[in-house]
Structure 1
């Protein structure tokens, strides 16, 4: 029996050295981590100590005969692997230089045959570093945490529903019916609850019974306080430039044509067009067609540097309508470019154009983005394409914007009127149609 001790950095290094020194038939008796160098046992480097051995009959001189000898059957291999530790133990005295390493080897320890294949080396290294418990445990912890979070989420939702139900039971039935109607119209639930609390307080203060008619009248008054404003919805006669901003597809160009027709035909003002919408196919041609019909001049700007020339060419106009490109409102480059286009001299207004067919969640994000440009008014389009009007209340209440116009069709110059708050309130409170 020939036994040899190796101190290496990794198991692949040990396997290579064992194969070179002892041959492919060598067996590994023991492996353990040790530290070498350092001071008083500190700051030492981690190493791996490997004890390998080979039977005297498998040395280089007899290696050829051994390789050509008949291979033992699996049952014989099992018997040999059980007998080898005992044979090695009888030869301990032949190796006085490594008795401290060989002595702790248990007689029951399995002997691992050295393999030169890459798969065996990877398997051995993975067995030294990981165990099934260490690999699977994080997955079990993650699954457990996800299950716990899901249960907490369900409990929270259940508590919210129970709380909301208990609050509803405190409201008189006529007020509950109005609350449900406003929620169905997609009015912000927090605003609805605030209005309902004020209505209940008013009835308690007046000490009057709550009826369907009286509840509708009080809620109507509260909604009027949210939507009404002392400012004019129309374009001011002192306004020199009107900027129209908004996302794609809301109908800015058509709306500009409708308002231009109103200014030309109703107020006899000379109108000019400026468009920076050079991204949408046929956008310039569309506005040019409207300009030809209304006898309104058009200037096209490709960058903020072209604005000075455009304003100079339209110096004789009473009011200038500026159409901006309806691009992605989340694009920061577009935001910066649009901000440069809105820096004009003289009195100006900036009108945000929103479609009533847009979800309020998107409306809020759009308004938040364009609100950086000092929005003055909000104009809603496509009123004829929806039966939900709660977004109007939400935008005015959350962003304190002044209502202006609303469109309800594609006809030019028709299908545009000033926003009537009381008409919107009646639509919000009317009984849903069958």
Structure 2
């Protein structure tokens, strides 16, 4: 494997140098903007650093031959990452930098070492701040549109960096004539694979007692009723309700109304003894859904109050409900507040009340926790879908917006 790093003033110039040196079959491993040190931090010049590779053992189209020119003095190129390091290419005139001193011996390295080095090169682009790259219109027009979509959806810059690195590799590996629909398909596949690698998705209840927790105003009671209705109507389950939400008078009335409509029994638990009695009463039911009080998530006493009322030692699964209208910082704080309780999955609500779904993706990937359901309205038993990597990808890219 022959690996080289190129420094050029633009991507097109870099691609020209790569074709001349490695040929048209070279593969782009990574690319990023780099800046010269300038004078006292001023007058910094922006360049593009591209890492390309080709396997000399395979047959490839020969590199583009350059016309012979008079031998000029060696051109010195200074790397922005290491201003003191200079490389001379007396005959080629190319601005080429070795990825590392060890890479000069890549031809003699074992295959495992080469693969390891390539993986390290790919890691180089993960921390790039793509905001500046976007302002400089770094990407070809179709990829620029993809970038703007991810930026508009408020997808984390590190995730955008990974996606754009994958798309650039595809683009410069002979797919630069692909239509926009196909390029969007690349992004769908990349996002789908990244989300799928996180955890399990979709509510599949493996235990009898299903606990629904979350802050006030996220729609816990309505969501509980939707899931219960699905369990009754589609799965023919025998269902019961327990509510510990005694802080709001209307909350008990609301769940009692749903219980009457669905024809299921309901018990109110004011303390741990009440809860244990209700749980025993419903022990022969398939699923027992537990509604909890919505409180200010910044109140540390809230979670401790839950542990005083609910018997978490039982055969129980807990789902955290988060509103997609909340700021990502609030989602993070809510999750941390409930971290003392084992959270199986999250349920995202109010998808119909926002146009920005990137925080959902950021949260899932950061905390490596799957989503059970996504709700998009108030109608019971409708307006709820089982979450999946494909559904989340389609929501983010707007494929299933009404």
Aligned position for 1:291 = 259
When residues 173 and 251 of structure 1 are mapped into structure 2, their CA distance, relative to the original with a 3 A threshold, is same
Tell me the CA shift for residue 283 of structure 1: 0.7
Q: Give the alignment partner of residue 275 of structure 1, picking from 243, 246, 252.
A: 243
Give the alignment of 1:52-201 within 5 angstroms: 164-165=132-133, 168-201=136-169
2:240 is the alignment partner of 1:308: no
2:338 is the alignment partner of 1:370: yes
Q: Normalised by the size of structure 1, how large is the TM-score?
A: 0.57
When residues 171 and 232 of structure 1 are mapped into structure 2, their CA distance, relative to the original with a 3 A threshold, is closer
2:185 is the alignment partner of 1:209: no
Aligned position for 1:361 = 329
Tell me the CA shift for residue 210 of structure 1: 6.0
When residues 170 and 384 of structure 1 are mapped into structure 2, their CA distance, relative to the original with a 3 A threshold, is closer
Distance 2:388 2:280 in 1: 37
Larger proportion of helix: 1
Q: Give the alignment partner of residue 409 of structure 1, picking from 372, 377, 382.
A: 377
Question: Which of 1 and 2 has greater Rg?
Answer: 1
Tell me the CA shift for residue 287 of structure 1: 0.7
Q: Normalised by the size of structure 2, how large is the TM-score?
A: 0.62
Distance 1:163 1:228 in 2: 27
The 3-state SS of whatever aligns with 2:372 is strand
When residues 209 and 392 of structure 1 are mapped into structure 2, their CA distance, relative to the original with a 3 A threshold, is same
Determine if contact 1:243/1:342 at 8 Å carries over to the other structure: no
The 3-state SS of whatever aligns with 2:361 is helix
2:312 is the alignment partner of 1:344: yes
The 3-state SS of whatever aligns with 1:282 is helix
Alignment RMSD:
2.9
Q: What runs of 5+ residues in structure 1 fail to find an aligned partner? A: 1-154
Q: Give the alignment partner of residue 320 of structure 1, picking from 288, 301, 310.
A: 288
When residues 164 and 328 of structure 1 are mapped into structure 2, their CA distance, relative to the original with a 3 A threshold, is same
Determine if contact 2:240/2:288 at 8 Å carries over to the other structure: yes
Determine if contact 1:245/1:323 at 8 Å carries over to the other structure: yes
Q: Deviations over 1:236-265 (max 9, x none)?
A: 2x3111111111111110111111111122
Tell me the CA shift for residue 207 of structure 1: 4.1
2:200 is the alignment partner of 1:231: yes
Determine if contact 1:406/1:418 at 8 Å carries over to the other structure: yes
Distance 1:401 1:298 in 2: 31
Distance 2:392 2:282 in 1: 38
Tell me the CA shift for residue 341 of structure 1: 4.4
Distance 2:129 2:233 in 1: 55
Distance 1:232 1:189 in 2: 24
Tell me the CA shift for residue 392 of structure 1: 1.9
2:297 is the alignment partner of 1:329: yes
Distance 1:164 1:225 in 2: 27
Count how many residue pairs are aligned between Structure 1 and Structure 2.
Answer: 274
Tell me the CA shift for residue 214 of structure 1: 3.9
